Amino acid sequence: MLSVATLTIGTTALVEMPVSAAAKPKGHDVSSHQKSVNWPKAKSKGARFVYVKATESHTYRNPYYGQQYHGARNAGLVRGAYHFALPHKSSGRTQAAYFVHNGGGWRADGWTLPPALDIEYNPYGKKKCYGLSKARMVGWIKSFSNEVKRQTGRRPVIYTNYNWWKMCTGNSSAFASNHALWLARYSSSAGSLPAGWRTWTFWQYDNGGSLPSDQNLFNGSMSRLKKFAKG
Closest-CA residue to 128 (of 105, 160, 91, 150)? 160
29 annotated active-site: yes
Kindly name the residue from 16, 56, 109, 118 that is annotated as catalytic.
Answer: 118
Rounded (10°) CA dihedral 158, 163, 166, 172: 20
CA–CA distance, 210 with 29 (Å, rounded to integer): 12
- Residues 230 and 110: their CA atoms lie apart, in Å, by 4
Catalytic residue among 29, 56, 147, 206: 29
- Catalytic residue flag (residue 120): yes
Of 49, 55, 42, nearest to 79 by C-alpha is 49
Annotated catalytic residue: which of 16, 109, 120, 214? Answer: 120
- Please list the active-site residues: 29, 118, 120
